[in-house]
Homo-oligomer: A and B are copies of this chain.
Amino acid sequence: MDLRERVVVILSGGLDSSTCLGIAAKEGHAVYALSFDYGQRHRHELDAARRLANHYGVLEHRVATLPFLREIGGSALTSDELSVPTDGVIGGEIPVTYVPGRNLIFLSIATAYAEVVGASALYLGVNALDYSGYPDCRPEFIDAFAGAATLATKAGVQGRRLRIETPLLRLTKADIVRLGLALGVPYEWTVSCYQGGDVACGTCDSCRLRRKGFAEAGAVDPIPYQVAF
């Protein structure tokens, strides 16, 4: 009988969620990995997610299909009519790459999954320091969600609180890179670029944050870019 704590790791296939998976595996949990196919421009991050899930020997890796986010649009990541900015302006206004309700929906579906497999915690790779300014990455949202999700489920009725683990929340991107490298996370497989091309553009917000993280950590990013740093 498997006595390890069961946890659900939300795994996009990017740098942060892959580090989260590395942490959950290191902590010795029985991991259920959950990815989302929501019509994102950078859909090939799902191939990275599959490879990482396999590498870490998760108990199960599921990809939930959510065509609705592309149907309603409203984000440069899910609409062909809006383009991904590459001007390097990070911070200030909520950017056009913000996907309305994304983390809310991901966490809700992960809550349902956790309930069915008997997991007591969700791991989410949000980060409130080196991030793009999305409202659903803020710690106050995560706390509020944990309370709502607990009330929504059987676990809550039985007096158990659903935990949401966000081990990267207060780390800089450089800290995350250092931690992931120490854990041996195979960053060469991860996909961060929002543009969805075969080779990362190097100039969208996500590429810029990633490159800055590796640079500040004094490490070499193992993936190629279209544009030199």
Contact = CB atoms under 8 A, between A and B. Distances in A.
A136 B153 contact: yes
B116 A74 contact: yes
A217 interface: no
Contact of A71 (B62, B102, B151): B62
A105 interface: yes
A100 interface: yes
Contacts of A153: 100-101, 104, 135-136
A147 B78 CA distance: 26
Nearest to A146: B148
Q: How large is the interface on A (under 10, 10 to 19, 20 to 34, 35 or more residues)?
A: 35 or more
A152 interface: yes
Contacts of A152: 101, 103-104, 135-136, 141, 145
A88 interface: no
Copies of this protein in the complex: 2
A58 to B, nearest CB: 15
A47 B141 CA distance: 36
A206 interface: no
A115 interface: yes
Contacts of A148: 104, 141, 144-145, 147-148
B94 A154 contact: yes
Nearest to A101: B112
B72 A68 contact: no
Nearest to A71: B62
A67 B65 contact: yes
Contacts of A64: 67-68, 71
A98 interface: yes
Nearest to A140: B151
Interface string A76-119: 00000000000000000010001111111101110111011100
Nearest to A136: B152
A207 to B, nearest CB: 24
A111 to B, nearest CB: 5
Interface of A: 62, 64-69, 71-74, 94, 98-105, 107-109, 111-113, 115-117, 135-136, 138, 140-141, 144-145, 147-149, 151-154, 156-157
